[in-house]
Amino acid sequence: MIKNIIPITALILCLFAFSNDNARQVILTSKAPAPIGPYSQAIRSKSGVLYVSGQIALRPDGSLDTSSIEKECTQVLNNIKAILEAGGKNLRDVSKTTIYLTDLKNFSKVNDVYASFFLSEPPARETIEVKALPKGASVEISLIAD
């Protein structure tokens, strides 16, 4: 009988080590647009770091307002706030952002909107000009929060 206890104990320890509490977690909220491809809004890693996929200015209903770069950037950051909240984080937890712009001439306008969301101790970031973004968007932002 003692011989059987050791394998059962090992099995229980293995199951505990690989339980859902220790696995990465998909974050999904209806307060941000559903993914438009094979990706998740965000993933929380096993260590608790939240990786938020690039967000464009889609509203939760799927519509896109490209009437101004300021409106686009505001919608992107509102989407990000909703995803962060669903993942148990907020803007103060953001360590790194990447901004993609289709025209670097919009850099200062995007900076102004961005600064209104990250009021103090903003995260590290880079801004990259790209030829095009999904759905004709002008700005996309992805980030890491821990």
3-class SS at 145? strand
How many structural domains are present in the chain?
1
Question: Is 27 contained in some domain?
Answer: yes
Q: What is the pLDDT of residues 75-133, one digit of tens each?
A: 999 999 999 999 999 999 999 999 999 999 999 999 999 999 999 999 999 999 999 99
* Residue-number span of the structural domain to which 127 is assigned: 23-145
Is residue 57 a contact partner of residue 64, using CB atoms and an 8 Å limit? yes
Q: How far apart are CA 57 and CA 74, in angstroms?
A: 8
CATH number at residue 29: 3.30.1330.40
Nearest partner of 129 among 96, 100, 98, 97, judged by Cα = 100
| DSSP label at residue 29 | -
Residues 54-81, mean pLDDT to the nearest whole number: 96
In a domain, 32, yes or no: yes
User: CA angle, corner 36, sides to 40 and 96, nearest 5?
Assistant: 50
Mark 23-49 as b/e (b = at least 16 C-beta within 10 Å): eebebebeebbeeeeeebbbbbeeeee
The pTM is what? 0.84
Domain membership of residue 14 (yes or no) is no
Say if 29 falls within a structural domain: yes
pLDDT tens digits for range 20-43? 556 999 999 999 999 999 999 999
Measured between alpha carbons, how far is 51 from 27 in angstroms, rounded to an integer? 10
pLDDT tier, 18 (very low <50, low <70, confident <90, very high otherwise): very low
Burial of 128 (0-12, 13-18, 19+ CB in 10 A): exposed
List, in sequence order, the alpha helices (H) in the chain.
2-17, 69-86, 107-117
